[in-house]
Amino acid sequence: MGNVYNTPMFTSEVLKDQVIVVTGGGSGLGKSMSRYFLQLGAKVVITSRNLEKLKNTAQELEAETSGKVLSVKCDVRNYDEVEAMLAATLEAFGKVDGLLNNAAGNFISPTERLSAHAFDTVIDIVLKGSKNCTLALGKHWIKSKQEKAVVLNIVTTYAFTGSAYVVPSATAKAGVLAMTRSLAVEWAKYGIRMNAIAPGPFPTKGAWDRLLPGDLKEKFDIRKKVPLKRVGEHQELANLAAYLMSDFSAYVNGEVVTIDGGEWLQGAGEFNMLEHIPQSMWDMLEAMIRAKKK
């Protein structure tokens, strides 16, 4: 048996008959989380700009899990398309219980090299896209007096720290986090819970091609930035997402759960650089410090 974190966490169908919309569900982490939702009994609507990709993913996931997947072409930047996606979901499944705001756009660049349109593009996908889906589904849940619903937003750890060279993404993800915390309070009275996950590095083609192009992958061994000295496994993120989508987390609301092996804290702690001091030097350093007392 491999490591336990590669293993599905739940042993029963905790999402049975739940209908969950996963934006950007055709690839990367969205696909991995969709797969696990299906294994747990959910019906999943995967959406993105590329219908062919979605259909291939749907076919693959249905064959793997025997679950039901609906593919809907929907650019989250356009509210009309999001409303149409909601209508297609309701037509196919009669209801919707969960929204996973996972779609994103991002690339590394010195900010002064960006055109205004480039900056807007990332903001529009991440912040406006998450807002569009949340608003459309939220209005539906409130109007139809649905007993309960869940929104889960995928942010990043730099939503709270900020980060150079991905400034549009950091700005947008911070906005999504603010929306999460705000609506968790405002919409709780309608039975809508809202949480976020802040993942550290989980390799995907979409992210790695844009954030570590060419030989940057070799130049910056991302594992070295993580105290646990490894990147994340898709299953362990899927385990967390399934928990936050399920009723097991019914009292968790307005929370952002970091899953990064301690990465962002390693960059933050004032004296974390002392990690580089060899064990053999500590006797000498202690002696020097104690000597000051005399």
Among positions 41, 55, 73, 107, the unique one binding ligand HXC when judged by CB under 6 A: 107
Please report whether residue 206 would count as binding ligand HXC according to CB under 6 A. yes
Minimum Å gap between C-beta 48 and ligand HXC is 9
H or E, element range at 138: helix 129-143
One residue of 201, 226, 235, 238 binding ligand HXC per CB under 6 A:
201
**Residue 153 binds which entry of ligand HXC, ligand NAP, none, CB below 5-8 Å type-dependent:** none
- Binds ligand NAP (CB under 6 A): choice among 41, 204, 255, 262: 204
Residue 287's H or E segment, with its range, is: helix 282-291
* Position 187, amino acid: W
Quick check: 109 binds ligand HXC (CB under 6 A)?
Answer: yes
DSSP 232: P
- The item of ligand HXC, ligand NAP, none sharing an interface with residue 122, based on CB under 5 to 8 Å by kind, is ligand HXC
DSSP string covering 20-44: EEEETTTSHHHHHHHHHHHHTT-EE
Q: Which does 265 bind (CB under 5 to 8 A by kind): ligand NAP, ligand HXC, none?
A: none
Count of residues making up the chain = 294
Interacting residue with ligand NAP among 14, 15, 18, 24 (CB under 6 A)? 24
Of ligand NAP, ligand HXC, none, which one sits near residue 114, judging by CB under 5 to 8 A according to partner kind? ligand HXC
Contacted by 29, from ligand NAP, ligand HXC, none: CB < 5 to 8 Å by type: ligand NAP
* Site mask for ligand NAP (CB under 6 A), range 144-183, x = bound: ----------x-x---------------------------
**Within a 10 A sphere around the Cβ of 262, how many other Cβ atoms?**
15
Q: Nearest-5° angle of CA 29, CA 102, CA 225?
A: 55
| Residue 102 is a binding residue for ligand NAP (CB under 6 A) | yes
Specify whether the CB–CB gap between 177 and 159 falls below 8 A: yes
Q: Which residue is nearest to ligand NAP (CB)?
A: 206
Known active-site residue 158: yes
Distance CA 110, CA 143 (A): 44
Catalytic hit among 158, 165, 190, 243: 158
| Bridge partners, residue 45, by sequence | 21, 70
| Strand pairing report for 149-154 and 43-48 | unpaired
**Inter-CA distances, 41 with 65, 97, 102, 231, 247, Å:** 9, 13, 20, 28, 14
- 30 scored as a contact of ligand HXC (CB under 6 A): no
Q: Are 9 and 243 in contact (CB under 8 A)?
A: yes
Tell me the catalytic residues. Answer: 158
For ligand HXC, the binding residues (CB under 6 A) are: 104-107, 109, 113-115, 117-118, 121-122, 156, 169, 201, 206-207, 210-211
